[in-house]
Each structure stands twice: as C-alpha cells, then as structure tokens.
C-alpha cells in the first residue's frame, strides 16, 4: 500500500459476548462511514453448531 493509507485490524463478533458490544455489522458500517473498506476476514471462530461467533477483520483505505 502507498504511504498515507490507513489499515485497521479488528476482532469483531457476530453475536454479543458482553453487554454493550458493537457487532460486526455495526463496526463495518462505522468504519465504512469513515472511509475504510473491508479487505478480508480471517481466523473465523465458530460455536459447536458451526455458527460464526467472531473473526479478525482487515480494513483499509
């Protein structure tokens, strides 16, 4: 990436793990409003039933 570009690596949850937590869709929207786009999703964690619980998200501009 060129100098001056911003990168953000965030752990985001798809289900609430604690009170008041912003979920993945809210984090994505918040960062998008600030000019960052989702580049990739990594290290997905699933529950016993195979449902996504959380993952690491890479954002950039």
Please compute, for residue 48, the number of CA atoms within 13 A of its CA located in the half-sphere on the CB side: 0
How many CB atoms are closer than 10 A to CB 47? Answer: 10
What pairing do the DSSP bridges indicate for beta strands 52-60 and 7-13? Answer: antiparallel
5-49 tens-digit pLDDT: 778 899 999 999 999 999 999 999 999 999 999 999 999 999 999
* pLDDT (0 to 100) of residue 6: 76
DSSP 6: -
pTM of the model as a whole: 0.82
Residue carrying the six token digits 């039933």: 49
> For the chain, which residues make up each domain, given as ranges?
7-54
Neighbours of 4 (CB within 10 A): 6
**Residue 7 pLDDT:** 86
The CA distance from 24 to 30, in Å, is 10
């Amino acid at each position: 990436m060129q100098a001056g570009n911003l990168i953000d690596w965030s752990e985001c949850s798809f289900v609430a793990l604690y009170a008041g937590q912003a979920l993945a869709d809210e984090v994505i929207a918040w960062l998008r409003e600030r000019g960052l786009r989702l580049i990739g999703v990594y290290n997905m964690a699933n529950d016993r039933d195979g449902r996504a619980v959380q993952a690491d998200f890479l954002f950039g501009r």
